[in-house]
Structure 1
Amino acid sequence: MRDTIPAKTLPLYATAEEALKNAIAADAAGENKAIISEAKTSLAQYQLNKGIKDFQAKSYDEAYKAFNNYQTLFPEDTTAIYYTGLAAVQAKNFPAALTNYNKLLPSKFSKKESIYLDMSTIALQQNDTTNALKYASEGVEKFPSNSDLRRREIEISLQTGKAQEVVGKIQAAIANDPKNKTLYYYAGLTYTSFGNSIADEIYKLKKADGGNLKESTLPAFLAKLTPLQTKKDDYMSKAAEMYKKALEIDPNYYEANLNLGYALLSPAIDTYNYANNYLPASKQKEYNATLAKATTMFDAAKPYLLKAVELKPTSADALRNLKNYYLGTRNTTEANAIQKQIDALPK
């Protein structure tokens, strides 16, 4: 809103508002334009101050009314629109919030990135995943480097079974902006999410069929497990490839180091567990070879696990991943030392 005259106390606001309407109607020739403009500004300033006071007092319904009155006087004022939407959110008047935020999208409002995210959040609060995804996707299209919008789009897409569409969008974005490390990171994150979904299926299979396996029932169980494990490993491999591309651009990218370490560590743990859980003593040679393979896989993850801890030494996630590496390579001394670091973290 433009500069205003000092705020005034207007106990008879309705009377003043009616007088302004009458003055505007009577001034068809515009002879009193300056006086009318000053009056509008005074009324708007009063509503703005009232709205702020009500908002600070957490009287959000009243704040919404005040800001909406302010907006009525200056309908193109993006501050008025934003404050009205903000108060509507706090008052849980979500339709009004979305109506006002939508007005900001075609404007030159400086915080449109956060508006798209807020609109997506509002839709989620109403269990409207369709519009939540729509707002997030539109935001990503307008602001492709915004990590919060990108994460929101991926999360909702995964929840609604549209993850493959997100992969296509990210790959298209990478083709247009091949030096954007964040795009590679989110491609990796999406593939990691696919892999984790298969891991959930594997967990269910083991819980249902994996208990008290016998030599006679093991082949049937492995026939179910193997294709799932192959699928999971493939997703983790694709994820690792994307994280590595992000690190080629920025070797100190913490999130990419953390998640690359995990993407390499997860199949190593699976291989280690396979050897110990499903290879009988009669297959000692295969057991030794599988453990050796697991060790090689663990060592491939080690540089990224260490780098993640170096970049963020107080990260519980980074420390847990590194601890799992030491457990997998049977280095209990280092694993115990890392656990002490985890225990020392602020709760």
Structure 2
Amino acid sequence: MNVKKAIVFSLLVAAGGATFAQTSNVRKAKSSLQKFEELKSAGSAELGKSNLDAAKEAIDLAVAHEKTKEDPEAWTVYALVNANLASLNNTAEAATAAAEGIKKAKELDADNKNADNIKVAGQVLGQFNFNQGVAAWEKQDFKSAYASFDSALGFLPGDTTLTYYSGLAAIQNQDYANAIEKYKQLIPAKEFSSHKSVMIDLPKLYLSAKDTASAIEYAAQAAQAYPNDNDAAVQNIELNLIVGNEAKVITDIENQIAKDANNKALYYYLGIAHSAANNNDKAIEAYKKAVSIDPNYSDANRNAAATIINGVRDQLNALNEDKTLSNTDYNTKVAALKEKIKEALPYLEKVVELNPEDVDALKSLKGYYDFQQDEAKSTELQAKIDAFQK
């Protein structure tokens, strides 16, 4: 947040002519406020407290005086003084007075002569509310934190940091409607440092609000905005798969591959989509393509092996349930499956090579050798598993 540190002094010129006598308290308040601002700019705001108190005493009289109670400058100074008092003393009463002063000044300032100083008052008050929100957050009072951040936005509209913090506070309070509203406001702010997180988290918020249709809509937007991001792409795939949109996801990925044929992640996602659609042969083909682009792509190696093994397991289960097979036919078919599952071995070995302490990968590799009835390899792998599980 970019908050101006000082009042715009060019607007502190004393009024002249017929109104001079009636504006003495306004002038006193401005003079004292200017002294406070000088000390504040020098990092010594506490030393200027007496000046700020003097400004308040004078400006309270001015806004109550018959001749100056409708003076936009008087109300602008009133807003500035009280906003600074709120910030300096951490007082809600002064903050309320400052907000009232800003509202009144805007109503009276028809020619916008005080617009810059009114904006400064709003910035100071916005910073006060932001600080209140941070204090509430630290106490884990997320409802109050959201209220304070939201109030700050009233004075600092469009501030991306405030909008983001407001959304985060709403999430912590499980106030998904307000969280969604704040996050949606950040969609156009592509330069915001947390923009990607906002785009990826927005569909999750819609899911929490039980709005699957909107979750899918914004998941697609996130994937489009960040086409190379793993979380965005996987989320888009998973959400579409939840509602049975396998064909749509496959088509979307294939269209993207046509534009970026050497993107290993796209083939990985295509494999996930085909697996969900029970197109195991196409899934394996896609995973293999990802591995051909990057032989050390651990997830693609893992999924290629898992898809091959799961296919063999399904066929083995079918054989075990088929009571019509003779022992000879059964053994012949099992031997064929043992040959077929060998296709998974290089991918399993690569996963273990890349992640030597991955117990799940070791267990999968042991399961392979168990099926092949290779007792020596199975025993060797079990020893490694036992060592890591101690």
Instruction: Using structure 1 for the length normalisation, give the TM-score.
Output: 0.82
Once the two structures are overlaid, the 10-residue window that deviates more, 158-167 or 62-71, is 158-167
Deviation for aligned residue 1:27: 2.9
1:189-221: CA deviation from partner (whole Å, max 9, x where unpaired): 1122233xxxxxxxxxxxxxxxxxxxxxxxxxx
Deviation for aligned residue 1:157: 1.8
Unaligned segments of structure 1, at least 5 residues: 196-234
Residue 285 of structure 2: aligned partner: 241
| Contact 1:271/1:291 (<8 A) preserved | no
Q: What are the equivalent positions in structure 2 for 1:158-169 lying under 5 Å apart?
A: 158-169=241-252
Q: Residue type matched to 2:124 in 1? A: S
Query: Given the superposition, is the C-alpha separation of residues 94 and 276 from structure 1 closer, same or farther in structure 2, using an over 3 Å criterion?
Result: closer
Once the two structures are overlaid, the 10-residue window that deviates more, 12-21 or 275-284, is 275-284
Deviation for aligned residue 1:72: 0.8
Distance across 1 between alignment mates of 2:368 and 2:344: 8
From 107, 110, 113, the equivalent of 2:189 is 107
Query: Given the superposition, is the C-alpha separation of residues 32 and 305 from structure 1 closer, same or farther in structure 2, using an over 3 Å criterion?
Result: same
| Contact 1:261/1:304 (<8 A) preserved | yes
Distance across 1 between alignment mates of 2:241 and 2:318: 29
| Contact 1:8/1:42 (<8 A) preserved | no
SS at match of 1:101: helix
Deviation for aligned residue 1:3: 4.3
Residue 334 of structure 2: aligned partner: 291
Q: Which runs of 4+ in 1 moved over 6 A?
A: none
Instruction: Determine if the alignment matches structure 1 residue 268 to structure 2 residue 351.
Output: no
Distance across 2 between alignment mates of 1:281 and 1:85: 63
Residue 175 of structure 1: aligned partner: 258
Whose radius of gyration is greater, 1 or 2? 2
Deviation for aligned residue 1:59: 0.4
Q: Residue type matched to 1:153 in 2? A: N
Distance across 1 between alignment mates of 2:111 and 2:371: 85
Residue 342 of structure 1: aligned partner: 385
Residue 210 of structure 2: aligned partner: 127
Deviation for aligned residue 1:334: 2.4
Query: Given the superposition, is the C-alpha separation of residues 91 and 190 from structure 1 closer, same or farther in structure 2, using an over 3 Å criterion?
Result: same
Percentage identity across aligned positions? 34
| Contact 2:246/2:276 (<8 A) preserved | no
Distance across 2 between alignment mates of 1:4 and 1:346: 59
From 58, 61, 74, the equivalent of 2:140 is 58
Q: Residue type matched to 1:238 in 2? A: K
1:156-193: CA deviation from partner (whole Å, max 9, x where unpaired): 22221212211111111111111111110011011222
Q: What are the equivalent positions in structure 2 for 1:17-28 lying under 5 Å apart?
A: 17-28=99-110
Distance across 2 between alignment mates of 1:281 and 1:39: 87
Q: Residue type matched to 2:2 in 1? A: R
| Contact 2:338/2:372 (<8 A) preserved | yes
Deviation for aligned residue 1:340: 4.0
| Contact 1:85/1:100 (<8 A) preserved | yes
Q: Residue type matched to 1:337 in 2? A: E
Instruction: Determine if the alignment matches structure 1 residue 189 to structure 2 residue 272.
Output: yes
Instruction: Using structure 2 for the length normalisation, give the TM-score.
Output: 0.73
1:57-76: CA deviation from partner (whole Å, max 9, x where unpaired): 11011000100011111111
| Contact 1:120/1:133 (<8 A) preserved | yes
Deviation for aligned residue 1:9: 3.0
* Aligned CA-pair RMSD: 2.2
Instruction: Determine if the alignment matches structure 1 residue 30 to structure 2 residue 130.
Output: no
Once the two structures are overlaid, the 10-residue window that deviates more, 24-33 or 63-72, is 24-33
| Contact 2:3/2:120 (<8 A) preserved | no
Residue 204 of structure 1: aligned partner: none
Deviation for aligned residue 1:30: 3.4
Once the two structures are overlaid, the 10-residue window that deviates more, 146-155 or 244-253, is 146-155
Query: Given the superposition, is the C-alpha separation of residues 192 and 336 from structure 1 closer, same or farther in structure 2, using an over 3 Å criterion?
Result: farther
Q: What are the equivalent positions in structure 2 for 1:80-119 lying under 5 Å apart?
A: 80-108=162-190, 109-119=192-202
From 346, 350, 365, the equivalent of 1:322 is 365
Instruction: Determine if the alignment matches structure 1 residue 15 to structure 2 residue 97.
Output: yes
| Contact 1:298/1:328 (<8 A) preserved | no
Once the two structures are overlaid, the 10-residue window that deviates more, 325-334 or 30-39, is 30-39
| Contact 2:3/2:124 (<8 A) preserved | no
Q: Residue type matched to 1:29 in 2? A: D
Residue 217 of structure 1: aligned partner: none
1:297-344: CA deviation from partner (whole Å, max 9, x where unpaired): 121110100000111122233223212211111123322433343344
